[in-house]
Structure 1
Amino acid sequence: MTQRYDLVILGGGVGGLVTASVAGQLGLDVALVERTGRLGGDCLHYGCVPSKTLIRSAEVAHLARDAGRYGVAATAAATDLGAVMDRVREVVARIQEHDDPERFRGYGVDVVFGEGRFVDARTVAVGDRRLQGRRFLIATGSRPAVPPVPGLEEAGYWTNETVFDQRELPRRLAVLGGGPIGLELAQAFARLGSEVTVIEMAERILPREDPEITGELQRLLADEGITIRVGTTVEGVDAGSEGARLSCRDGAEAFAVDADRILVAAGRRPNVESLEPDNAGVRVEAGGIPVDARMHTSARHIFACGDVTGLYPFTHVAEYQAGVVIANVVFKLPKKADYRVVPWVTYTAPELAHVGLTESTAREHGYTVQVARFRFADVDRALAEGTTGGLLKLVVHKQRIIGATVLGPHAGELIHELVLAMQAEVKIKHLSAAVHAYPTLAQIHRRAVNTLYADKLYAPSTRRLVRWLHRLLP
């Protein structure tokens, strides 16, 4: 059976759903193909939603054990991981209601469940159906990359796709990967009661972030009892009746890590193979499907967005890219993606949020920069809440912020004032002049900026000017 559409979308994650919703409601004939039996994608089922729900439960357990620091007498029983995961599933199910296939069918979208593959440049096969389209969107996302470590398959491992199905808390957990997923889940399990070791091949955790900030985060995580080994490779895994032994190497040092369970969080791979993209003339590279600024693939009538492009593996970027696709496909407007001001957040405690250039990257690009820092330990609201770890770091060029990193409580919320300042090219004097409510964590923005004015404000020349004005004027 062959059917014809204006737009065929492959992938029912956020990129595909946003595009399908708008295109369908505006009257286009749209088919949405999803290989699993449910919509919502990796973010809803294996990523953002379940991980943040788990992190919140872990935070509650941590606060209960740490209650004495707040003057409260409390005790915390051993964690029932099954009960925690039940809550995770409840939250996912609640949000899943927004991604009900019938909702999209009500928009006029033909929702098709099954594995889609290109037969040719204008046809996608799903089972015995043939979907022909004028335009296509590939939004199939990504999956965990599993390193080729000898013995790992035999020993067994978790990924973000299986970790939320677990019911028993491991006594010892080894995490392969010191990126956002690895660190978030490592801290969550440590706070729930596991003994956690993180093993990262790079010389530091979160290699894309400012090294000054990641160094501090690593110290804070270590203070919670998490062992972090950077610059370390896993050379093999031996499975035994008492768990697994990971043979590791850090330069000349060889050592072993014993674990009851292994969590692999060593990067992502684009979901492209089953699409048979060669049949449609779509070029694929190791990191994903290359796209231009208008989200075209090498086949001009086929677009791609989200993780499958390998650009920015964030749900909010997939949603933004979907907007670019909608402009080009639905409204025929030549809109281009602009990634100059893209924030992202690692949801450890404290959170690490970033936007723009780091200090080192800015200097490498030839910018003459000023750097402002202010610590949460000097922010009254942070002191009141007992969350004083971390700092704000601003990178400023010609009185405008070109990069910012926040390591601290609610950093994912705080970063957006700086995102707006960068997007609107606001000068830092306006941040300094803006009235910030007291006591709030957001005061850190104003106070960081003011450190750049302190030397000039209290300089000898300014003191002389003030004395002269007071002698001259009544």
Structure 2
Amino acid sequence: MRGDGMSMREVDIAIIGSGTAGMSAYRQARKRTDRIALIEGGPFGTTCARVGCMPSKLLIAAAEARHRLAALSAFGIASDAGAVDGRAVMKRVRDERDRFVGFVLDAVAGFDPAHVLRAHAEFEDPHTLKLSPAMDGSAPPVERVRAGRIIIATGSRPAIPAALRAAGDRLILSDDVFDWQDLPGAVAVFGAGVIGLELGQALHRLGVRVHLFGRDGRIGAISDPVVRAEATRLIAAELPLSLDAADVRVERDGEAVVVHFTDPGGAASSERFDYLLAATGRTPNVEMLALECSGLELDARGLPVFDPQTTRAGDSHVFIAGDADADRVLLHEAADEGHLAGEQAARYPAVYRHTRRTPLGVVFSDPQIAYAGRRHAQLLADGVAFAVGEVSFEDQGRSRVMLVNHGLLRVYGEQGSGLLLGAEMIGPQNEHIAHLLAWAIQARMTVADVLQMPFYHPTIEEGLRTALRELLTALGMGAAPPLHCIDCGPGA
């Protein structure tokens, strides 16, 4: 408390935000100090549990279950199942979503209540945070927090281009989808990144008429042009896809949204939808923090300039983690960054650089899109001398047996050293292949090292071995593999 009538709490560490990064930071900071303030102005819980990875996977699981029915006739099995009860589908999504959120809320409830402040926070000066009422209207118990160190873990929110706002109340975000009581008839999805591709394909497979709109030919965070072309071909074969639509204009017509656009062939088109889903990226939640009062150096986006290996902003006492830094916007990365920020803030001023884990990302489309290690565009930008090996899943044995034989895997190795550098792919169950590759890359294995690992027959992973053998040949470190080699097994 202060004697000037302005209530103040003094702490060693103040953490702004209680999502994945904030919760992880709190746990680490708590190991070294009890003088902590965990400040949250919005709902408790993580983006992943409430409106992100978990509810989207619930919708995808329902869509995949129905989609597999289409393959039954190819196996010689007749079925007339597959009618979609939209209300039942969405009820399971909401119920399971609430269950996952409950786990997060239970974790927050386990925190020391004396540490938790329900309030919005903004910088008043580099060490002082001014508090205001939280979203629910609750007044904070103090007006200010003065902290020796501050961790920014405020997360992100969907970004909405101004051109889409003409849809009015028919403009929805990915957050809104998971509160639907029933499935709509038609949805225009803008954004062919991870969220747009996952939700667009899932809705399509559940019987919703979907048109997916993208920009500049990009799809699913793929940078390798060969993999991108294959992904575009596969997705476009299933649902309407416009990755290069021009002259896009959105308007309301009664309760419908009308999208006018010109396709790549120059033809003018118009389509009516019940909703327009904006999946056009996310924006860090930093604009309400009054960062101009923080004393931090800000980049062109208004974000603190920071070191990803320490999470420290410049040479200050401020650390930033999770979606708020717009670096690696994934749950496991947010958890890692929060852990690092909490540890560093507690140790301050003894701050040490830490090696980050190998990059790993998965799009839960079908076929799955994934990357591990350094991506194709990054290797080119860094001027790395590398070679490429690839395999098509079209004739890959196990994939063909299961009738999921679609996709392409490309792996990259360093010329000279033979180190495995990275991979990009679209194919069946590629989440598992991407994990194997990320572990191998982090262990700094060469391509030859990975080929000494066991590969069971028949598995989809045998396709990875084929790509690695081609890569070893391209690196000049091995002979060309024989066609349909005996040790691979038939069709491997």
TM-score by length of 2: 0.86
The answer on 1:366 being equivalent to 2:371 is no
Matched length: 458
How far does residue 101 in structure 1 lie from its aligned partner after superposition? Answer: 5.5
2:305 counterpart residue number: 290
Contact 2:200 2:212 in 1 (8 A): yes
2: distance between equivalents of 1:106 and 1:173? 41
1:93 counterpart residue number: 98
Cα–Cα, structure 1 residues 139 and 453, in superposed 2: closer, same or farther, change >3 Å?
closer
Within the candidate set 425, 443, 450, 2:462 is matched to 443
Whichever residue aligns with residue 465 of structure 2, its letter is R
- 1:309-342, CA deviations, whole angstroms, 9 ceiling, x for partnerless residues? 1112111111121232133222345333545821
How far does residue 181 in structure 1 lie from its aligned partner after superposition? Answer: 0.8
Higher alpha-carbon deviation: 188-197 or 284-293: 284-293
How far does residue 161 in structure 1 lie from its aligned partner after superposition? Answer: 1.5
- 1:213-236, CA deviations, whole angstroms, 9 ceiling, x for partnerless residues? 122112211222x11112224643
How far does residue 406 in structure 1 lie from its aligned partner after superposition? Answer: 2.6
Alignment of 1:4-83 (within 5 A): 4-38=10-44, 40-83=45-88
Cα–Cα, structure 1 residues 41 and 360, in superposed 2: closer, same or farther, change >3 Å?
closer
- 1:15-53, CA deviations, whole angstroms, 9 ceiling, x for partnerless residues? 001111222244432221222232x22111111111111
The answer on 1:280 being equivalent to 2:294 is yes
How far does residue 107 in structure 1 lie from its aligned partner after superposition? Answer: 5.3
Within the candidate set 462, 474, 479, 1:457 is matched to 479
1:200 counterpart residue number: 214
The answer on 1:335 being equivalent to 2:352 is yes
Unaligned segments of structure 1, at least 5 residues: 460-474
SS at match of 2:257: strand
1: distance between equivalents of 2:103 and 2:429? 26
SS at match of 1:12: coil
**How well do the aligned residues superpose, as a CA RMSD in angstroms?**
2.6
1:247 counterpart residue number: 260
Cα–Cα, structure 1 residues 324 and 109, in superposed 2: closer, same or farther, change >3 Å?
farther
Within the candidate set 430, 438, 463, 1:411 is matched to 430
2:401 counterpart residue number: 384
Cα–Cα, structure 1 residues 329 and 360, in superposed 2: closer, same or farther, change >3 Å?
closer
Whichever residue aligns with residue 303 of structure 1, its letter is F
Question: What is the percentage of aligned positions where both structures have the same residue?
Answer: 28
Contact 2:470 2:480 in 1 (8 A): no
How far does residue 350 in structure 1 lie from its aligned partner after superposition? Answer: 0.9
TM-score by length of 1: 0.89
1:318 counterpart residue number: 334
Within the candidate set 131, 140, 157, 2:145 is matched to 131
Cα–Cα, structure 1 residues 153 and 335, in superposed 2: closer, same or farther, change >3 Å?
farther
How far does residue 250 in structure 1 lie from its aligned partner after superposition? Answer: 4.8
SS at match of 2:205: helix
Cα–Cα, structure 1 residues 67 and 33, in superposed 2: closer, same or farther, change >3 Å?
farther
2: distance between equivalents of 1:204 and 1:103? 38
Whichever residue aligns with residue 98 of structure 1, its letter is F
SS at match of 1:167: coil
SS at match of 2:96: helix
Contact 2:368 2:430 in 1 (8 A): yes
Within the candidate set 178, 192, 203, 1:178 is matched to 192
Cα–Cα, structure 1 residues 247 and 296, in superposed 2: closer, same or farther, change >3 Å?
same
Contact 2:223 2:377 in 1 (8 A): no
1: distance between equivalents of 2:279 and 2:201? 13
2: distance between equivalents of 1:78 and 1:27? 56
Contact 2:62 2:89 in 1 (8 A): yes
How far does residue 106 in structure 1 lie from its aligned partner after superposition? Answer: 4.2
2: distance between equivalents of 1:377 and 1:236? 38
